[in-house]
Structures are given as structure tokens and as C-alpha cells.
Amino acid sequence: MASVTKTRNTATRLLTAVAVLSGLVLSAAQAQAAAPPPSTAASAVTATTLPAVDMEATVLAAQIDPRRADSTLTPGAHDSVLAVERALQARGLLDATWVDGYFGTSTISAYAAYQRSLGYSGLAANGLPGTTSLTTLGQGRYTVTHQIGPGAKLQRDGYTVNTRTQNMLTEAERLLGFRLTLSQGSYNPGGDPTSAGTHDGGGVVDINVDGMTSSTRTAVALALRQVGFAAWIRNPTQGDWPWHIHAAAINDTDLATQAQNQTGDYYLGLNGLANHAADDGPRIPIQTWEQYQRSH
């Protein structure tokens, strides 16, 4: 009887030992599963994080850089432009010489060629990055932040403008306290010889100033500049046109090439005309519509 009891006690101890070992093994496995990945794995995850391309800064650089007489970079745009240029180079559209973070004429031409390769034409292949083309170009290379776009087309005073331009005009009117009337709109279907093609794309309007005093004209130009237009008071001595205010919406991705050049000249302190004279409008800190919205 003592022998049977001893055998039973031994078996119980063995079963207990097995249970303890099983618990230890299970705890170790659970701890390993809950533990964070080793530093090498974390590094691998970090290494695959894509850089971000700031669309606002990139489009702005595409307007200003081609107008510069030197290689000064547009503030805040270098890294984004560089990522876009590397993507264009990878597609064989841009020579390595021009992969420098400067969105000059070579990069404009390369981007326009890329847009055409996607089947775009006209304004959709103007060399200014649009949301769809910029995102498609960056697949697997970068993400796109601060996306911008012109919005849908609509009618104002019998002329065509886009939603972004209309919103900008509405805010300028709020600042002024009165309504503005257009004498010319955007997306000019036939072309106006006095406009040199600036109205053929989006974002560009002329403001009727009939009956306005000199001080009121200046106030209008100032309000338009505040909300993100490159705006100038035009007079008959400058060209074949009546008194009016010409306004081009900075960073409108539908801008015609001529209007792109005007917005670039505006940033460089010029009047946006072929004579490249000094800016003759009210000087204020320059900002885009999106920058204005963030500060108001």
C-alpha cells in the first residue's frame, strides 16, 4: 500500500512539473509576440516611409523659378521639387543636370511632356502640376500634401471663371464692402489680342473700374492682392485697353503660360507687362489664396 502511495505521489510531482514548464514556455511565447519589433525591423519600416511633396510650394516654384535671372530657390519648395524632378528623371523625361530642386524651364517642359504622356492636352498639359498628374507621378515615390485645384467652372457677369477664382473675388468684395464687376473673365475661347493670351486659361480676370476714383482703384487692387491675386491697375498709356484692373490668381493650376509668367514676375517685383518694368501697384506681403485662408 505504501508503494502504491509513493508511486501516486511521484506521478503527481511529474504532472505538476510538466504543467509548470508548459506555463513557462507559453508565457515566453506570449511575451515574444507582444514585444515590439527589433530595432532593425523598425529601421526598415522607417526606411520605407515616402517623402511628402507640398503641392502648394511646388506649383508656386513652377511659376516663379522660370522667371528668375539666377538660380535662387523658391522658399520651402526645394525638397518637394527635387522629389518631382527625380520622378521625371526616372521616366526619362528630365536630364540629371536639371534635378536640382529648381523648377526652371527644363522642368516645366519635362512636366508638360509627362502630362501629355498621360493623354492630357491644352491647359491640362501646361507644365503646372495638377493633383492627378502629381499624384500619379509620385506613386511609390512620394505622397502629396497641401493639394490645390481650380474647382468647377461657373458664370459671373456673363464670363467664365472657376470656383477658386470666384471665392477669391467674393472675399475681396467682403474686404472692400462693395461688389466688383468683371470686364473680362477666364478660359477665353477666342483669344483677345489685347490680353496676350493671359485670359486663355483659368484664374485671370479684369475688373471694370468705370466711375472709380484713383483711391478706390488702388483699394481694389490692394484687396485683390491681399486674397492672393497678382493684381495691377492698367491704364491706356500701357497698351491698347481702357482703364481696368488685371488680376491673375497665384497658384491657379489652370493658368495659361502667359499668366504663369505674370505671377512669377509679380513675386519678383515686376509689373507683369512685356516691358518688365517695376511693380506699380500697392506693395504688400505676397501670399496665395490658401495662405490667406490659413491666416484668416
Q: Binning pLDDT at 50, 70 and 90, where does residue 129 land?
A: very high
Give residue 169's pLDDT: 98
Give residue 278's pLDDT: 97
Residue type, 248: A
Contact predicate 89/96, CB 8 Å:
yes
pLDDT score of 33 more than 80: no
- Mean pLDDT to the nearest integer, 240-259: 96
Q: Binning pLDDT at 50, 70 and 90, where does residue 40 land?
A: very low
CATH code of the domain made up of 153-294: 3.30.1380
- Residue 1 burial (CB count, 10 A): 5
pLDDT score of 16 more than 50: no
The C-alpha atoms of residue 110 and residue 92 are separated, in whole angstroms, by 9
| pTM, 2 dp | 0.83
Give residue 191's pLDDT: 67
For residues 151-174, b (16+ Cβ closer than 10 Å) or e, as one string? bebeebeebbbbebbbbbbebbee
C-alpha cell at 194: 489685347
The C-alpha atoms of residue 65 and residue 63 are separated, in whole angstroms, by 6
Tell me the domain boundaries of the chain: 2-35, 52-145, 153-294
Give residue 9's pLDDT: 44
- Mean pLDDT to the nearest integer, 10-19: 40
Q: Binning pLDDT at 50, 70 and 90, where does residue 31 land?
A: very low
Q: How far is CA 223 from CA 164, 226, 294, in A?
A: 16, 5, 17
